[in-house]
Amino acid sequence: MTAAPPLAGLPGGPASGANDDSDDEVEHLQYKVIVVGDGAVGKTSLINRFTQGGFAQSYKQTIGVDFFNKKIQLPGNINVTMQIWDIGGQQVGGKMLGKYIYGCAAVIFVYDVTNPETFKNVDDWYDFVVREFKADKRPYMALVGNKNDLQHLRQVKPEKHSLYAIEHQMIPHQVSAKTGDRVQSLFTRVAADLAGVQLTRSEVEQTDVVVTAAIVQHPAAPVPDGPRGPQPEKEESSCAVQ
């Protein structure tokens, strides 16, 4: 965990613009990103997967708020530092939530696809966030269904997820913090959208490393060639997560 540095230029957009002294070719941007949702939907696991690349089988409940910094390199020599705030699930009715989300550029709403109650409760988080911002100053919003590795227990249909995202102007994502499936691409997409960088599909997918250690692999099974199979070598610009 890193202490939250002060972010200049808030609320909303880039916290700092082009670096004008050392290297005028590279643009440095910083964004405050808030992750909200009910307790146990996997917020801390998601952030941990993105920032440390790992998954712990058991997590302590997040009390209050934690901060994490993570740098992403985007095509076009753009470095984005994401300051990610992990908001404890118990905060939806709490007095501090308004202070935590102040000045954020993006809010990531997380629910557990195996628990419809957590999907329903996204409403409460959404209502709170839109009350805090004027309509024209609303942060970028993403809707994240987590625990997609538990397909057999899935209770929130992808169509419901997509419809909700459209109706609430959120960018939809389906991920698994446990396997890492689409976690890097989620955060990369948020960073790119905030920075106004358009990524190709392969640039987004290349960021994802799916961990299959916990999944039974049949030795003779061929490696799939689909979107999450091996990617062709990149010819143009690339994005990297550090």
CB of 210 closer than 8 Å to CB of 149: no
Least CB distance to ligand G3D at residue 82 (A): 17
Residue 147 near which of Mg ion, ligand G3D, none (CB within 5-8 Å, type-dependent):
ligand G3D
x/- map, 27-56, Mg ion, by CB under 5 A: -----------------x------------
> Which residue type is seen at 136?
D
Q: Using N-to-C axis directions, what is the helix angle for 183-195 and 43-52, rounded to 10°?
A: 80
70's contact among ligand G3D, Mg ion, none, with CB below 5 to 8 A by partner kind, is: none
By CB under 6 A, is residue 176 in contact with ligand G3D? yes
Residue with Cβ nearer Mg ion (38 or 208):
38
Among residues 32, 23, 139, 140, the alpha carbon closest in space to that of 78 is found at: 23
Q: Check binding of 62 to Mg ion (CB under 5 A).
A: yes
Bond from prior residue into 11 cis (ω within 30 degrees of 0): yes
Residues of this chain, 86-115, that bind ligand G3D according to CB under 6 A? 89
What sections of the chain are H helices per DSSP? 43-52, 97-101, 116-120, 122-132, 158-167, 183-195, 201-206
Binding residues for Mg ion (CB under 5 A) = 44, 62
Binding residues for ligand G3D (CB under 6 A) = 37, 39-45, 57-59, 61-62, 89, 146-147, 149-150, 176-178
